[in-house]
Structure 1
Amino acid sequence: MSEDRQDGLEAQFSQWRHYVQRRKELRTSDADELEDHLRGSVDELVGVGLHADEAFLVAVKRMGSLDDLSREFAREHSERLWKQLVLSGDTDGPARDTPRSRRDLFAMIACAAGAALTVKMPEILGKSFEDDPAFYGTNVALLVLPWLAGFLAWRRRASRAVVAVLVGLFAVGAVAANAYPLADESQSLVLTGIHLAIALWFVVGIAYVSDDLRAPRRRMDFVRFTGECFIYYVLIALGGGVLVAFLFGTFAAIGITPDTFVGQWLVPCGAAAASVVAGWLVEAKQSVVENIAPVLTRLFTPLFTAVLLAFLVALAVTSGAIDVEREALILFDLLLVVVLALLLYSISARDPQAPPGLFDKLQLALVVSALVIDVLVLLEITGRITEFGTTPNKAAALGENVILLANLAWSAWLVLGMVRRRTPFAAVERWQTAYLPVFAGWAWVVALVFPPLFGYV
């Protein structure tokens, strides 16, 4: 076999192994065993006259679905799930991994404590939430997310240049949140708070991918990280709610009402620290939620598809117009973002080797339905702006819907091609990862440019 062909084959083995290692049900020894079996099959097929690329594809096909293999290993070694729930590292790995896991745990605790302290620092310095709620509305992401970004940058051993970029972007965010004279009733105040949080989450993304900034695969890993971090945060919040309920109940039994402690310390500090803890959980215990999140996407994709189709049918039957007032705009934008999130996360969890199936057709119906609704909302917004003039809310909604329209339109085309077996799945994935900077850029534009553009109203 020629050297170039051998290099190409090794690259395929490397890509396949990376995909296998995302299945946390499989130990390193399991992955080694599967790779040995795959290499043996490839060598056998090359020996009977197949080209290396053909032999690799045939051998992978013979092995069957990696999801099936993962489930089989999980059934045989079900105790691993419990180990992953209670241990911070892979107990089956070499002993040298334990110090790293311990360092990650200590770093997480330090960053979580830093986030909890920072979120209380303005009040300690005399700026309470009751006196200036607008300050907290625009600054909450600045008080918390730098600690999560710092933890991820430390874990990735980010270079000094990347750290400097992170610090610079958070400094720009601080300017956007505090330099503009925004009144409490200003539309720009709400827009800045929402879009600055989104922009700074993408800064966290830079810290996440700092070990390989240019790799599209790492951007998709960040999409997966976002979804899993959200799930963990919700679970922590639910547990925190139970804790607060027990706290009130037990102390009430002895005549003490811990309102001040819960409202001023436990809830804000716990919420801030939980963001770092959730990020650490995703990094340390991915397999626990990796098995849940794809199930959630498969559950909610058909449900959201049914809701959107029902809405379009009702709109056609009633011949009514879509309300584009502020609350309705937020609702429709949120709906489109949820649709995009379902698409992104299902892409991140999909087996690239799997043929198109019923779920892909459901995704196509979901994206097309969202696309039609986006067009209708855009027409209504444009009509209102033409008739009554623009406002910060309408301008932001117009830009966001245009950006979503472009993404959903090309996504629908690519998913259609994939369902018809004319477009590879990789094209859908590349499109979504390449589009992430567009979302980040628009969030920065709204946070930095809109307030002065609209006279801080």
Structure 2
Amino acid sequence: MDTATSLETQIARWRDYVHRHRAIAPADVDEMEDHLRERVADLTATGLDDDEAFLVAVKRLGRLDSVSREFAREHSERLWKQLVLVPDGPDGDGSPAARRELAVVLALAVGAGVAVKLGATFWDETVLLRNVGLLVAPFLAGYLAWKRRLTGRTLGALGAAFVALGVVLNAYPFDPAGSTAALAAVHAPVVLWALVGLAYAGGGWRSADRRMDFVRFTGELAVYLVLIALGSAVLVGLTFGLLGLVGVDLEPVLERWLMPFGVPGALLVAAWLVEAKQEVVENIAPVLTRVFTPLTTVMLVVSFGVLVSAGGLTTVDRELLILLDAVLVLVLALLLYSISARDPLARPGLFDGLQLAMVVAALAVDAVALTAMLTRIAEFGASPNKVAALGLNLLLAVHLVRSGWLTLGFCRRRRGFAALERWHTSYLPVYAVWAAVVVVVFPPVFGFS
């Protein structure tokens, strides 16, 4: 790659990052890019090469978060406009493209609701729980595939993967009360979300940038889902209370119709909002991570103390180990969400040190949990649940060790932030592979018990 191409690539990445700060309008981004190019030209004229000139010019231009806040102060009305459901302009809510996309989303939401309703009608609760993700995920993947105009080959591969997973979940002779059936129900959504990620990436899953985009999409989707859930809970609660005063019981309607259609519909609508408002919610990510990172670290330290003081590791409560796994997964999600919204050009600071402390605390908890699991397996023998939990904790340990090492190098300014991003995005598919192993391999290995 020649120096000119390298410079254009760096400027394109810089522009993409700036563009995600929605307080900055496209015209403003153009103006900022012009200033950046002028600074680079002046610096190269003094004898610096393109890479050095770019880094110096960006530093002199100012931190992007500071620039975003300055634009937000000068153009505060944009912050209100970006909360509108569909953006203004040629693709706004009056355009045929916007109306067509909304129609597609609503049709897919209804389709997902119908699928869940049919499943609830013809399957018992155990089979429904094992298949509920499979009833909804193809509709979400279908929306993303339609949005990105996936090729027939990619669509065929995704369809085959969904069908294969459906065959495994329903053709295996699971014992309804067995552990492998529960493990399949828990791990199948991880495989399904990986397939949704393939649809989101548009066939470019090998790209680290696209995988990080999917991490960002997942975080923003979670925020929207929480907001929709809170708003819906208030609305439904008020409706139940008002109608309850006149003797009308809506609980059967909630169970038979609102839940089967409402939950899948909320997922599709939330995905549409994320796509329509690209990275608007990303501005919340720094606030959320700065609030919850220190709190999570304290919780991990307390959990570590509880584990260490619990006495013999074979007596550690099984439910406690499950909760600790959930906490470790939450730590990983918090770490990924924070990295996905961080300015990659910013220098390491106090918050990066806090994240390193959280990773170290998580590693300590994971080490004790792993010891407890190995001790229990040696004492009582292996079971599907124990092996699945052990595998997950080993994967988390590898992920956290490498993350901690790279974060330490970044804090000491011996490594770039890009190395940390690449590690996280390249390791994520490992969890999907492990989940597929639990769903496909564990049942026959453990006799479907």
Question: Normalising by structure 2, what TM-score?
Answer: 0.95
Q: Where does 1:59-208 land on structure 2 (aligned, <5 Å)?
A: 59-89=57-87, 91-92=88-89, 98-123=95-120, 126-127=121-122, 132-208=124-200
Please give the alpha-carbon distance, in whole angstroms, between the structure 2 residues aligned to 1:453 and 1:134. 21
Contact 1:176 1:192 in 2 (8 A): no
Please give the alpha-carbon distance, in whole angstroms, between the structure 1 residues aligned to 2:305 and 2:245. 55
Match of 1:383 among 371, 375, 381: 375
Contact 1:42 1:59 in 2 (8 A): yes
Q: Within the alignment, does 1:19 sit opposite 2:53 as a pair? A: no
Q: Where does 1:293-332 land on structure 2 (aligned, <5 Å)?
A: 293-313=285-305, 315-316=307-308, 321=313, 324-332=316-324
Q: For the structure 1 residues 170 and 324, does the alpha-carbon distance in structure 2 shift closer, same or farther, using more than 3 Å as the test?
A: farther
Deviation for aligned residue 1:96: 12
Deviation for aligned residue 1:403: 0.8
**Equivalence for 1:240:** 232
Please give the alpha-carbon distance, in whole angstroms, between the structure 1 residues aligned to 2:156 and 2:309. 56
**Equivalence for 1:365:** 357
Gaps of 5+ in 1: none
Please give the alpha-carbon distance, in whole angstroms, between the structure 1 residues aligned to 2:418 and 2:113. 41
Deviation for aligned residue 1:180: 1.6
**Equivalence for 1:456:** 448
Please give the alpha-carbon distance, in whole angstroms, between the structure 1 residues aligned to 2:445 and 2:308. 38
Please give the alpha-carbon distance, in whole angstroms, between the structure 1 residues aligned to 2:92 and 2:303. 56
> Which range moves more in the overlay, 96-105 or 79-88?
96-105
Please give the alpha-carbon distance, in whole angstroms, between the structure 1 residues aligned to 2:135 and 2:77. 39
> Which range moves more in the overlay, 302-311 or 197-206?
302-311
Deviations 1:276-323, CA, capped at 9 Å, x for gaps = 111111111234411212211111111111121233345556756475
SS at match of 2:343: coil
Please give the alpha-carbon distance, in whole angstroms, between the structure 2 residues aligned to 1:309 and 1:322. 21
SS at match of 1:205: helix
**Equivalence for 1:291:** 283
Q: For the structure 1 residues 323 and 305, does the alpha-carbon distance in structure 2 shift closer, same or farther, using more than 3 Å as the test?
A: farther
Q: Identity across aligned pairs (percent)?
A: 52
**Equivalence for 1:438:** 430
Deviations 1:198-257, CA, capped at 9 Å, x for gaps = 110111000010153321001011111111111111111111111211221232344322
Q: Where does 1:37-52 land on structure 2 (aligned, <5 Å)?
A: 37-52=35-50
Contact 2:21 2:283 in 1 (8 A): no
SS at match of 2:199: helix
Q: How many residues align?
A: 449
Deviations 1:144-203, CA, capped at 9 Å, x for gaps = 111000000110111111111111111122122211222332111211111001110111
Deviations 1:48-69, CA, capped at 9 Å, x for gaps = 3332222211111111111111
> Which range moves more in the overlay, 324-333 or 434-443?
324-333
Q: For the structure 1 residues 138 and 96, does the alpha-carbon distance in structure 2 shift closer, same or farther, using more than 3 Å as the test?
A: closer
Deviation for aligned residue 1:390: 0.8
Contact 2:21 2:280 in 1 (8 A): no
Deviations 1:304-347, CA, capped at 9 Å, x for gaps = 11121233345556756475554223211111111111111111
Q: For the structure 1 residues 323 and 36, does the alpha-carbon distance in structure 2 shift closer, same or farther, using more than 3 Å as the test?
A: farther
Match of 1:420 among 412, 433, 440: 412
Please give the alpha-carbon distance, in whole angstroms, between the structure 2 residues aligned to 1:186 and 1:94. 52
- Please provide the CA RMSD for this pair: 2.0
Contact 1:156 1:211 in 2 (8 A): no
Q: What one-letter code is carried by the residue in structure 1 that aligns with 2:267?
A: S
Match of 2:332 among 333, 340, 345: 340
Q: What one-letter code is carried by the residue in structure 2 that aligns with 1:20?
A: V
Match of 2:207 among 206, 215, 218: 215
